[in-house]
Amino acid sequence: MKTEVSLNQHIPMRHFFILLGLVALAEMLLMMTVDPMMEASGYPVWIRAMADAGLLAIICVPFMLNFQLRPMQMAYHDPLTGLPNRQLFNDRLAHVLVMAKREQCSFAVIFLDLDNFKPINDRFGHRVGDVVLKLAAVRIESGVRESDTVARLGGDEFAILLADAESTADAERVIRKISEALSRPFEVRGHILELGISAGVAFYPADGVSGMELIDAADDAMYRNKALRKTLEAMPEIALRAR
């Protein structure tokens, strides 16, 4: 899905001076190698100048693009997992919302978080926790189509935008696929770690007609499902105590 990205991004000053240094180095190398070789071969000055300019562009343009696009990448993507961040997710949600209103179709927003991630992070530290988040992000993204969007909102919370979901069954199928993927143990630095997920779904227009309404509805549904599951898990213990 294409996303409009603001071009109002500035290269940091240190990157600007690094770029100037690379340009100067490239020009010096050209003057010491290519230019003398072409002069010895009898090429006129204007051809040598064009060759210098062309080679200089080939060397420097990739660095210039990298310095310019890197801040844009960081502004719209989570630095740890590489997934879209909250801002990019909201942009894509707004775009899909416009399309859905125009075509009078439905779509779904899924919120999910990783069960048992906090104990893992507390016990084994942030380094292990970060690796788990990266691996989990890959598995979550493998459960959706290319036309869908998976974003990391922060911590162990993720959001999924299903652009073509028409029914609850569509969203449940995705959640089930992701749940199965995350149910497989993670092996990180010699530790075997297990995760689960809590998920909530909101549909346009049944659960909201704006991006904020859909986000709040999916978030509320996720926490209701999490609380319900904890209640059900505690019921056997309550029954034993009653006896």
**Active site members:** 156
The secondary structure of residue 108, as a DSSP letter, is E
Q: Containing H/E element for 213?
A: helix 211-242
SS3 48: helix
- Give the CA distances from residue 93 to residues 30, 128, 231, in Å, rounded to whole numbers and listed in that order: 49, 32, 33
Distance in angstroms between the alpha carbons of the first and the last residue of the chain:
57
Within the chain, strands assigned E span: 107-115, 149-154, 157-162, 186-188, 191-193, 196-204
Q: What share of the chain is helix, strand, coil (3-state, %, to 5)?
A: 60, 15, 25
